[in-house]
Amino acid sequence: MDDSIDPSTTADPTANAKPRRAAAKTAAREGTAHAPSPLSQPGGVDPAVFREAVLAKLVYAVGKDASRASDHDWLLATILALRDGMIDRWLDSTRRTYASGKKRVYYLSLEFLIGRLLFDALGNLGLTETAREALSPLGVDLDALREVEPDAALGNGGLGRLAACFMESLATLSLPAYGYGIRYDYGLFRQAVSDGWQREIPEDWLSFGNPWEFERPEVVYRVGFGGRVEDDQEGAGANHRVWTPAEEVIAVAYDTPIVGWRGKHVNTLRLWSAKAPEPLALEVFNHGDYVGAMAHRARVEAISRVLYPSDATPAGYELRLRQEFFFTSASLQDLVRRHVQQHGSLASLGEKAAIQLNDTHPAIAVAELMRLLVDEHRMGFEEAWQITRRTLNYTNHTLLPEALETWSVQIMERLLPRHMEIIYRINWHHLEAIARAHPQDTDLIRTASIIDETGGRRVRMGTLAFLGANKVNGVSALHTDLMRETVFRDLNTLFPDRIVSKTNGITFRRWLQQCNPGLTRLLVETLGERVLDDPEALRGLEAHADDAGFQERFAAVKLANKERLARLVEERTGWRVDPTAMFDVQIKRIHEYKRQLLNVLEAVAHYHAIKAHPDRFVAPRVKVFAGKAAASYTQAKLIIKLAHDVAKVINTDPDIGDRLKVVFLPNYNVSLAETIIPAADLSEQISTAGMEASGTGNMKLALNGALTIGTLDGANVEIRDHVGHENIFIFGLTVDEVAAVRAKGGLSRDEHSARLARVLYEIETGAFSPDDPTRFHPITEAIAHHDHFLVAPDFDAYYEAQRHVDEVWRDRPVWRRRAILNTARVGWFSSDRTIAEYAREIWGAEPL
């Protein structure tokens, strides 16, 4: 937002503009430039005042009469009125940031899965009930408006949702911060399911515009690709090279205010949109080639069209790299410009700015910041390297090889030739230091190099990020230990103090107060208002866990949430489910390591058991799946199809009735999660041990009173430690046992239990796909011959753990007590705690 106080990069078109701008700056800093919005006043807002503000926006901004306005018109008017109330706080936060001179945090992420923002902003400003009361006399249902607002399609899964939680917590803690990412036109995709098969449809979330954002056409940066690199013709020395790109893309800023709890501070989420320097080739157009005249623009603007375009083709592979460099370069240019404006010298960048790289996507920041310092600001290489190392930090989110990015040297040299020169020099200094310290260890030089020389030369972006970072953090205690022992083992040996642990967290404002208002009211009635401000105040619930009356009230809230979800399930899938049954939930990106397949196989085995013993007690259960598979991930899409085919057989079997149902809810997003999570009884966190970095869905579900069934993976370990071993269902191989089983080649078919063998036989022979008996052979063959994710070795332990779940569910007071204790004991998993740790131990940043 500071560009409205300190306009950025473009020259003034007239000589008189500068004194006008200086006067405007003075007025802005003194707070006298405008009359504040009536919705920004402290001490609460009268509903009548809110109503008048909405009506004014409806007429003068939306251009509609109240008698003809649609729900969407009312949504726009409400957002615009509310946004006005945020702007005064936004400006004030920016002024205080400049006046304090404190360090700013810059969070670079390819994803920001922010979801819908209306209730987020209303809740944080304390205006939800005010808005409801204001709109009701107009015949407008606030909850109906919530359903009209589209989810911002700016992320895919946990990585993007974590970034969104962090942005909200940064504002809540009054830490001056910018989030930087890409303003995707179509996001990932909207998932449709046709006959059980996933189909990808563009998510046109911007079709009605985005009323939360401010376009900043004056905040533009040129981002180059390709071209040549030459020595500085002025003879300034070998360190000063000149990069002349063959192609340039314009990055245009779009700003969204992110308001913290109780509106005390507002930060900025700045997203970049790619534009062509020229909108069309006019000469080509005038020669009649209308499509060709737009070809370059289409190619350039593809950068901000879609999140994670398929990299199965050379063009898609290149586009991924162009996306990552585009937003990283624009963001670094922007923050460097801001620092120079405020502080003058870049020598203090590390003391005034902390840059956090969210995974390896923005790892090219190491080379780009070096280029800006050395080439654009004529700094010596060693000084620039020290500044870069003090400024950058890197969060690793995965141990999966495919997610720890590498890029071919060939494409890097073609698209980013100057950056490859810088990378080679960084690597040379790095390997020289290793050779001096370990002259006989050629293997260490090979494995610790930024350039992977095996199987085609590739740039290891994780290694680049590690070397350029002040601190490198994992996102759970187990994940951090595994980083030290596996992917960064050699680098950890060389730099033993660089890796630290920062367990992920979630914002309780979104994942309790907004998505579960019934439980929030119960908590406030029981524990007081303090519970809204201090997550650790939830500990007070422990004293009520054995209270039968409180258990009944807690269960009534859960049942109401389940009834709501049951209606949604029927609306979206056609299946009717019993809300009194156990809701067994697995909601996350579809991936083999997350093992939705294990869950489906257990459903088949449980189905067999019910058929064989119809008189035996069975806890009625609804298995709820939701999640998207990557467009090119064939096996994950086949697992979705298997879930649907299994559901079709089980749900239509009259012998089963309501004892077991399987449903798959399409198009999983933040809004759908906000409906599923409060209704969940059982939380499935069943990834192969050692493969889930942290997870945050596990935290959200436990907070809302779901018991976890899971492996000792990611943050499950810390959840177990906090909620108590008796209040979580742990099964399966440990990390060490996973390594041992893999070393011996997994399980052969002969080692499968009779229960698993029957499940696989029926799937393999078409019991669930009579129209295509061989449909699921790729799944059964993978389990039989290359079961990398160890579905078979964990199957029987998982099945038995589920039967233990059944027994506990049968004793409802015991289940309710455990559910209450889960809610009571997960306050530590607040993202406010996580961000406070980052600020204190990594960034050295202080709140205003």
| Active site amino acids | 397, 588-589, 594, 696, 700
CA–chain centroid gap for 190, Å, is: 17
Burial class (CB in 10 A: 0-12, 13-18, 19+), 528: exposed
CB 346 within 8 A of CB 340: yes
Identity of the residue numbered 98 = Y
CB 190 within 8 A of CB 196: no
CB 800 within 8 A of CB 731: yes
Of 418, 405, 493, the closest CA to residue 450 belongs to 405
- 307 — alpha (psi -120 to 50), left (phi > 0) or beta? beta
CB 527 within 8 A of CB 535: no
Residue position matching structure tokens 């040299």: 413
DSSP per-residue codes, 342-390: HHS-GGGHHHHEEEEEESSTTTTHHHHHHHIIIIIS---HHHHHHHHHH
Other Cβ atoms closer than 10 A to 593: 17
Cα 297 to Cα 649: distance, rounded to the nearest angstrom: 50
Query: What are φ and ψ of residue 653, in 5° steps?
Result: -85, 115
Strands 104-108 and 458-460: unpaired
CA–chain centroid gap for 333, Å, is: 24
Paired tokens of 73:
């018109």
Question: Strand (E) positions, 232-387?
Answer: 241-244, 247-259, 266-275, 353-358
Q: Where is 452: in which H helix or E strand?
A: strand 451-452
| Cβ neighbours of residue 749 closer than 8 Å, sequence gap 6 or more | 757, 784
CB 825 within 8 A of CB 722: yes
Cα 253 to Cα 272: distance, rounded to the nearest angstrom: 5
Identity of the residue numbered 566 = A
Question: Strand (E) positions, 643-743?
Answer: 660-665, 682-685, 707-710, 729-730
Of 541, 550, 548, 586, the closest CA to residue 727 belongs to 541
Cα 386 to Cα 391: distance, rounded to the nearest angstrom: 9
Of 781, 785, 763, the closest CA to residue 772 belongs to 763
Using CA atoms of 569, 575, 579, 580 in order, give the dihedral in degrees to the nearest 10. Answer: -150
Alpha helix positions (H), 486-633: 489-494, 508, 517-527, 530-533, 548-573, 596-612
Cα 86 to Cα 65: distance, rounded to the nearest angstrom: 25
| Cβ neighbours of residue 130 closer than 8 Å, sequence gap 6 or more | 44, 45, 46, 47, 50
Q: Where is 583: in which H helix or E strand?
A: strand 582-587
CB 92 within 8 A of CB 128: no
Report the chain's terminal Cα–Cα distance, integer Å.
16
Residue position matching structure tokens 């790619």: 274
Cα 145 to Cα 71: distance, rounded to the nearest angstrom: 6
CB 213 within 8 A of CB 83: no
